[in-house]
Amino acid sequence: MPVAIAGMHRAGTSMVARVLRICGLDLGDEQHFAPAAPDNTEGYWEDLRFVSMNDRILDAFGGAWDTPPALPDGWTRDPRLDGIRREAETLAAARAEPWGWKDPRTSLTAAFWRDLWPGLRFVVCVRNPLEVAASLRARGYTSERFGLRLWEEYHRALDAAALGAPQIVTHYDSYFRDASAEVARVVDFAVPSATDALRHAAVESASEGARHQRRSARDLASSGLSAAGGAQYASLGERAGPVFAQVVRAPAAEEPDPPPAPAAPARRAADREAEIAAVLAAREEELAIALPMLHARDQELASIRPVLAARDEEIAAFHHLLAAREAEIAGLKAALLAHEQELAARRAEIRALTWWRFWRRS
């Protein structure tokens, strides 16, 4: 069953998607990924085909990612979504297990995807709503209140749609507290078969992220977040695992220092090369494990080929026999047609003779 990486925009969904992709979660071909941007230099790791489907779902009901629509009862079965459903099933058929997709919009459309795939699992990415609002505002998306309200709508919709579904909540702060422990927790949920080498590469990837916005719980308490939004955030925090529990318990003096300024391009390139090397080493390790299995499959295939060849000969003989039977049937049909024509001629003669006798008697 697929894994949906969801949550609010600017809440670490890209970082989590990168971690899970390194560990073997099939998120699609890179040719379909959204390109990196100045505000997300590591990439978004989202298949634009899923983004397009989510945009079209929202648009069908008069909304968009930043203006969530009011969805009517039974909306997931609206006939206007039939084409999207078929498109999604086609994409899923081309993916290898384990697979999934990342798109924050899925928070708003989760009910549709869960209706399509009832076993769908969710990785719910959470971040302090004030940090999300500040990040959105820094990119030109109106006011702080707009960001807070949008955060609340996303998580309210996702919580309602994913109720009872397999899910894990992961908080952005956890990766700056203990990336190794949080990566292990999320990977165990989404890609439990990931090797130790891949997990190590994923931890390195998560640890190098830059953090440009930082707000405290005190800041949030005095913000414009509604009471319902505050309760929502508290509930998500309670489900965010032991690492975030440490973050909550830590006094202000123990909070991690703000991250250093972004590394110089040369240093970032070196880090990137080291990450790629670690991933390649992990892939080689997986290949070494897979080669004996492939060899065994080749042997099985070699033993099956003579059986298939014998079946092919039987089928060829059957086709020959079938062709003979079809020719025989065609001959019988022709003979039957000739008999029917002869019978028709005899009936015509009888009718003519009957008429002549009747005329003589008259």
State what percent of residues in the chain have pLDDT above 90.
Answer: 56
CATH 1.10.3470 for domain 3-262, yes or no, is no
Q: 22, 183 in Cβ contact below 8 A?
A: no
Q: 214, 104 in Cβ contact below 8 A?
A: no
Q: 207, 179 in Cβ contact below 8 A?
A: yes
- Give the model's pLDDT for residue 253: 43
Model-level pTM?
A: 0.69
- The pLDDT mean for the chain works out to 85
- Give the model's pLDDT for residue 98: 95
How does pLDDT run across 6-18, given as a tens digit for each residue? Answer: 999 999 999 999 9
- Give the model's pLDDT for residue 260: 47
- Give the model's pLDDT for residue 36: 63
- Give the model's pLDDT for residue 213: 67
Residue with tokens 């318990």: 249
d(CA 101, CA 325): 55
HEC string of 233-262 equals HHHHHHCCHHHHHHHHHCCHHHCCCCCCCC
Domain boundaries, the chain: 3-262, 267-362
In this structure, what DSSP letter does residue 63 have?
A: -
Stretches in the chain below the pLDDT threshold 50 = 253-264, 267
**In the chain, beta strands by DSSP E:** 3-7, 100-102, 121-126, 167-171
Buried b (16+ CB within 10 A) or exposed e, 22-35: bbbbbbbeeeebbe
- H or E element at residue 357: helix 265-361
d(CA 113, CA 308): 41
Q: What is the full DSSP assignment across 301-332?
A: HHHHHHHHHHHHHHHHHHHHHHHHHHHHHHHH
End-to-end CA gap in the chain: 92
- Give the model's pLDDT for residue 95: 92
